[in-house]
Structure formats: structure tokens, C-alpha cells
């Protein structure tokens, strides 16, 4: 299916999740995967990310959106990943409940 999207102009220049989220950067942290997501807010980018972890054979996900906005994805990526690490440190696997 993704081949057909790219062939007919439905693709984009970044990796996407099934929901169409463009992943700007990602890292592993304490057994979790943190992904910085592209979220347009007018002419700026809003801080958004996804935390994933496989628990008992099932992939669990937690999406976070914060009020912070920036004009550059180079500024956004490290901040989004840092926020993901902070959430993991504070809540751990409890975020999936």
C-alpha cells in the first residue's frame, strides 16, 4: 500500500506512523522508544512525541503534546526527546494505564 501512495503522490519526506504522524527523530531510553513527531501549529511546530514499549508481547503507545512551539525542527527534536525521557523518569510504565 505504501508503494502505491508514493507512486501516486501520497508519500512524504519522513517516516510516518499508521496515523500519518511524521517522525522527526527517535531514541531508545530505559527499554522505551521515544519519537519526536511533526505537529504543525500555524507557521510553527508544536512539541509532540510518542513513547512506545512492548509489554507482554503487545506494543503500548503514549502520545504527548505540549504547549511549547518552535520555528525549527532542529530545536524541536531534542526538546521532544527530552520531554519523553522526563515522562518516563516520572511515570515509567504507568503512562500506559
Would residue 19 be called left, alpha or beta, if left means φ above 0 and alpha means ψ between -120 and 50 degrees? alpha
Cβ within 8 Å of residue 12, ≥6 positions away: 22
Tens-digit pLDDT profile for residues 74-96? 999 999 999 999 999 999 999 99
| The three grid cell numbers given for residue 63, joined into one nine-digit string | 502520545
pLDDT of residue 19: 56
- DSSP-derived secondary structure letter, 13: S
Would residue 52 be called left, alpha or beta, if left means φ above 0 and alpha means ψ between -120 and 50 degrees? beta
Backbone angles phi, psi at 80, to 5 degrees: -65, -40
pLDDT of residue 20: 66
Beta carbons within 10 angstroms of residue 48's beta carbon: 22
pTM of this prediction?
Answer: 0.79
Tens-digit pLDDT profile for residues 5-41? 444 444 444 454 445 689 999 999 999 999 999 999 9
Backbone angles phi, psi at 62, to 5 degrees: -135, 125
Say if residue 2's pLDDT is above 50: no
pLDDT of residue 14: 46
pLDDT of residue 21: 83
Amino acid at each position: 500500500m505504501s508503494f502505491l501512495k508514493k507512486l501516486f503522490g501520497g508519500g512524504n519526506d519522513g517516516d510516518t506512523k499508521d496515523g500519518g504522524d511524521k517522525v522527526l527523530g527517535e531514541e531508545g531510553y530505559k527499554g522505551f522508544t521515544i519519537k519526536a513527531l511533526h505537529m504543525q501549529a500555524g507557521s510553527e511546530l508544536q512539541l509532540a512525541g510518542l513513547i512506545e514499549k512492548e509489554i507482554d508481547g503487545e506494543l503500548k503507545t503514549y502520545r504527548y503534546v505540549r504547549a511549547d512551539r518552535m520555528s525549527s525542527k532542529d530545536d524541536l527534536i531534542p526538546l521532544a526527546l527530552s520531554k519523553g525521557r522526563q515522562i518516563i523518569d516520572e511515570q515509567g510504565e504507568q503512562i500506559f494505564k
